[in-house]
Amino acid sequence: MNQEFIRRNPNGSVTLCGRGDGKCCPTMQVIDEHRVKITDDYGNSIIVTKEEAALMSGGMTMLDESTSKPKQLLFD
């Protein structure tokens, strides 16, 4: 069954399966009070602040839009 999901793992990390085939499932885990580690399927990882990680959904929305004019999203 193809299904997208977000799952909390026993070690406290979170798995994000967005493609629906179970093959594209990066994980996120808290490093400390301010930072999150994101690891892709190939073992590559980045460490970003929690604030940066929270902005990623908005960034993806902007990337997916098919407009060429500059745009800015503002958050309170």
Kindly state whether residue 70 falls inside one of the protein's structural domains: no
Structural domain count of the chain: 1
Question: Residue 50, exposed/middle/buried by CB under 10 A (0-12, 13-18, 19+)?
Answer: middle
In the predicted model, what is the mean pLDDT of residues 52-62? 90
Domain annotation covers residue 20: yes
| Residue 41 located in a structural domain | yes
pTM check: above 0.75:
no
Question: Which tens digits make up the pLDDT trace of 8-35?
Answer: 999 999 998 876 666 778 999 999 999 9
How many contiguous H segments (helices) and E segments (strands) does the chain have? 1, 5
Structural domain that includes position 17: 5-64
